[in-house]
Copies of this chain bind each other. A is one copy, B any other.
Amino acid sequence: MSISADTLRGYTDTIILTRLMRGDSYGYEINRQVQSRTGGAYGFKEATLYTAFRRLEQSGLITSYWGEDGPGARRRYYTITEAGKKLWEERSREWQETRALLDALLTLEVEHESD
């Protein structure tokens, strides 16, 4: 976990929604995917993950169901709703904007003669 989570604050929900855009999944798996996609550089703290699920479900962006009991511990699966998909589109676009803004705001512009 080389990246402090506070620099990603506010993106938890969108990251989860991104995972669910690929199909239903459950907490533990989503976190494993996040870790593997970042080469181990980032992963959710459990409390962060599960409070996010509550928040997203309460907002109608995802729904959940208990997985058919196969082998292993019980799993709660999550499904993204239409509202969730719409919000994901919006947040994705917003990320592009934010990235451009931060690139501009965190760069030392070059000194001009005319300055």
Contact = CB atoms under 8 A, between A and B. Distances in A.
A109 B8 CA distance: 20
A38 B104 contact: yes
A103 B92 CA distance: 10
Range class of the A interface residue count: 35 or more
Contact of A101 (B8, B9, B14, B97): B8
A42 interface: yes
Could you tell me the dominant secondary structure of chain A's interface residues? Answer: helix
Oligomeric state, in number of copies?
2
Contacts of A107: 18
A3 interface: yes
A34 B105 contact: yes
A4 B103 CA distance: 16
A38 B103 CA distance: 10
Contacts of A109: 22
B37 A94 contact: no
